[in-house]
């Protein structure tokens, strides 16, 4: 019997004894109906991984040990049709604004602006003032707003999460850095990374700092210090498994020998597992991976294979360490009785990272790699600076085409799931979704209104995403109408999605794919469907006009 039931029983017995049987027998007026109570607002936890591959998690077909994330995924709905921008800061701007990255200050990454994009509206490199963030909106609905992890939406004091709706925050301002904090800088203008807490830049980090551990620690600290009478919005944004691939010493050998067969063998294993789990149709044709000459597994030397294997071992250990950090946050929510009333959304910010740092012509990458100790025996330690390259990335994105930085499915279709208490839907959903949908979905879950062009008495950018709530409640069969056209562009690479059709241009002209029948983008139907191509190109042009796309004057050094 619960405490409140015991108290009720005791109170009833006391009343009976005092009134006596005669008094209890007298007729009494019917009690007034209790006043209706407002629905309890759910807690909200958004978890973002950085450059995670589509099939890295166990729940998405991977061999990496991720029991904590897997458990949440299996409780909820795995979203195999969820899409982001091709890289990190554009995705984060869309997630927190509910609108297109070109309207949210990130028409390109701030680090990779073309000369003709500098100074243009929508290319500020930080969230503009006419954007109401998800944190702004939820704080206005009574939420405690808490953020820990990667920000990448502005590096100066006035651009930090503490100024964009978060009550408490611990954040890395830049897009990535040494996971042990060894490159902390004295100012945002200096080369290196800057960490901030509640809007104040930190001069140093504690001994034993490691990114995934620290981000979870700070969110738990904020939760413990908060008012448990208020619902919370937690925004937990890891930098794992973004390069440089680094992990604490105790995890370095967790996957030793696991990847000796190479990335092409792993790709076959992952794809077979995806099919067996029902995450992709069994008759799916995967796009053939693209390798530069000398980069397929059989063409690598023994030394090159050893370095590739070690890089993937460390990558896997980083993913497992991130999962353990998530597990500590979940354990806290369960211990405090908050878990059952918490919506949890997990997503990667883009497809797997295919940049080969060792071979990159990007001057910044070359400088960092040359300054590091990249002897094989030092891989994964704080003084190393390595990535894992296009082979492992395409193992993780299969059956999709290519990886991060590109508007193909491999760059934008990500592992995502949502745990929504009371939802009518669990299991697996291939319904198309977009990262812009996060804000309207969660604001609606909190009982708020996200439509319109004003918030808190000021004019703001209208939300372009759609709420998933009617779909999750079982009242709708899709999130976006089949005739709705959703465009995207980054680094001059373009795409447009309308229903099952996708138009793609990577710089060599438009291609057309039916994603429902060909998720691997293996069959270009542009020649067979000239009328459809013409209509979709016109829709992309309209999207470009509405969002202020400025096509870059120079090709980026990415990937």
DSSP string, 236-250: EE--TTSSS----GG
Rounded CA separation 559/421 (Å): 39
DSSP lists the bridge partners of residue 459 as: 454
From the CB of residue 278, how many other CB atoms can be counted at a distance below 10 Å? 13
Three-state DSSP at 498 gives: strand
Under a CB-based contact definition with an 8 Å cutoff, are residues 136 and 458 in contact? Answer: no
Query: For 313, phi and psi rounded to 5 degrees?
Result: -60, -45
DSSP type of residue 431 = -
Q: Is 332 a catalytic residue?
A: no
Under a CB-based contact definition with an 8 Å cutoff, are residues 122 and 489 in contact? Answer: no
Checking DSSP bridges between strand 168-172 and strand 144-150, what pairing results, if any?
parallel
Under a CB-based contact definition with an 8 Å cutoff, are residues 418 and 472 in contact? Answer: yes
Cα–Cα nearest to 352, from 54, 33, 46: 54
Q: What is the dihedral of CA 70, 271, 385, 85, to 10 degrees?
A: -80
Peptide bond preceding 392 in cis form (omega within 30 of 0): no
Checking DSSP bridges between strand 232-237 and strand 144-150, what pairing results, if any?
parallel
Catalytic, out of 126, 152, 287, 455: 152
Return the beta strands (E) in 113-185 as ranges: 144-150, 168-172
CA distances from 342 to 419, 427, 469 (A): 8, 18, 15
Where is 506: in which H helix or E strand? none
Rounded CA separation 193/199 (Å): 15
**Angle separating helix axes 302-335 and 263-276, nearest 10 degrees:** 40
* Tokens found for residue 286: 């995967």
Q: Is 152 a catalytic residue?
A: yes
Return the beta strands (E) in 453-539 as ranges: 454-455, 458-459, 485-490, 493-498, 501-505, 510-514
Catalytic, out of 83, 88, 102, 480: 88
Positions marked catalytic: 88, 152
């Amino acid at each position: 019997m619960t405490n409140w039931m015991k108290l009720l029983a005791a109170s009833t017995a006391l009343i009976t004894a005092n009134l006596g049987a005669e008094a209890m027998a007298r007729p009494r007026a019917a009690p007034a109906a209790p006043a209706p109570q407002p629905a309890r607002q759910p807690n909200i936890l958004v978890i973002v991984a950085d450059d995670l591959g589509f099939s890295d998690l166990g729940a998405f077909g991977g061999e990496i040990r991720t029991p904590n994330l897997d458990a949440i995924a299996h409780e909820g709905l795995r979203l195999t049709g969820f899409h982001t921008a091709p890289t990190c800061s554009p995705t984060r701007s869309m997630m927190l604004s509910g609108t297109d990255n070109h309207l949210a200050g990130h028409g390109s990454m701030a680090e990779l602006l073309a000369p003709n994009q500098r100074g243009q509206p929508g290319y500020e490199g930080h969230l503009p003032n006419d954007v109401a963030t998800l944190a702004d909106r939820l704080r206005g609905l009574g939420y405690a707003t808490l953020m820990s992890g990667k920000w990448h939406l502005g590096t100066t004091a006035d651009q930090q999460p503490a100024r964009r709706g978060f009550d408490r925050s611990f954040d890395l301002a830049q897009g990535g850095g040494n996971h042990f904090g060894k490159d902390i800088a004295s100012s945002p203008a200096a080369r290196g990374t800057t960490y901030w807490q509640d809007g104040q830049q930190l001069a140093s980090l504690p001994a034993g700092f490691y990114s995934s551990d620290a981000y979870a620690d700070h969110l738990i600290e904020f939760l413990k210090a908060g008012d448990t009478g208020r619902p919370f919005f937690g925004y937990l944004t890891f930098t794992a498994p973004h390069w440089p691939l680094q992990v604490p010493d105790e995890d370095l050998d967790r996957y030793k020998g696991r990847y000796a067969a190479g990335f092409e063998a792993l790709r076959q294993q992952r794809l077979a597992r995806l099919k067996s789990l029902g995450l992709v149709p069994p008759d799916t044709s995967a796009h053939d991976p693209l390798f530069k000459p000398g980069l397929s597994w059989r063409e690598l030397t023994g030394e090159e294979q050893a370095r590739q294997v070690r890089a993937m071992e460390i990558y896997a250990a980083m993913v497992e360490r991130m999962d353990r950090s998530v597990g500590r946050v979940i354990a806290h929510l369960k211990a405090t009785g908050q878990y059952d009333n918490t919506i949890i959304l997990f997503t990667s910010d883009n497809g797997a990272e295919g940049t080969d740092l060792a071979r990159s012509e990007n001057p910044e990458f070359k400088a960092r790699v040359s300054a590091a100790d990249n002897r094989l025996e030092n891989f994964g330690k704080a003084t190393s600076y390595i990535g894992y390259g296009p082979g492992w990335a395409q193992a993780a994105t299969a059956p999709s085409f290519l990886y991060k930085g590109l508007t193909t499915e491999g760059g934008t279709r990500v592992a995502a799931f949502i745990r929504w208490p009371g939802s009518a839907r669990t299991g697996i959903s291939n319904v198309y979704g977009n990262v812009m949908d996060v804000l309207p979905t969660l604001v609606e879950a909190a009982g708020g209104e996200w439509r319109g062009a004003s918030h808190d008495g000021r004019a703001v950018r209208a939300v372009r995403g759609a709420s998933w709530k009617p779909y999750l409640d079982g009242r709708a069969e899709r999130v976006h109408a089949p005739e709705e056209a959703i465009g995207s562009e980054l680094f001059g690479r373009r795409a447009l999605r309308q229903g099952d059709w996708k138009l793609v241009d990577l710089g060599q002209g438009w291609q057309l794919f039916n994603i429902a029948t060909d998720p691997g983008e293996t069959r270009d139907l542009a020649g067979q469907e000239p009328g459809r191509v013409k209509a979709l190109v016109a829709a992309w042009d309209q999207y470009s006009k509405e969002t202020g796309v400025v096509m870059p004057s120079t090709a980026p050094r990415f990937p």
